[in-house]
């Protein structure tokens, strides 16, 4: 298992939690709250599908060699 995959797996859980909270909050505070029980599986699947590419894209940025090579000001370049 590659380092990138390991980092992405840990990131996936954190990103999934935040997106799930945001999706659930949106669902419960919107007029769609009447159908919340029917729409909740869609929130789970949707946030999981969004979390996968986000965690895969962010994983290389969390490697130590990236910080050594590009420095801490990489975001501002």
Q: What is the pLDDT of residues 61-76, one digit of tens each?
A: 888 776 666 666 655 5
Q: What is the pLDDT of residues 2-45, one digit of tens each?
A: 889 999 999 999 999 999 999 999 999 999 889 989 999 999 99
Token digits of residue 1? 């298992």
Burial 14-39 (b: 16+ CB within 10 A, else e): ebbeebbeebbeebeeeeeeeeeeeb
**For tokens 């954190």, what's the residue?**
14
Model confidence, pTM = 0.78
Alpha helices in 1-77 (DSSP H): 3-29, 36-58, 64-70
């Amino acid at each position: 298992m590659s380092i990138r995959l390991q980092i992405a797996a840990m990131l996936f859980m954190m990103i999934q939690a935040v997106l799930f909270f945001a999706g659930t909050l949106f669902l419960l505070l919107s007029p769609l709250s009447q159908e919340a029980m029917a729409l909740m599986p869609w929130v789970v699947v949707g946030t999981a599908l969004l979390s996968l590419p986000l965690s895969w894209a962010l994983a290389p940025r969390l490697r130590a060699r990236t910080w050594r090579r590009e420095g801490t000001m990489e975001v501002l370049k």
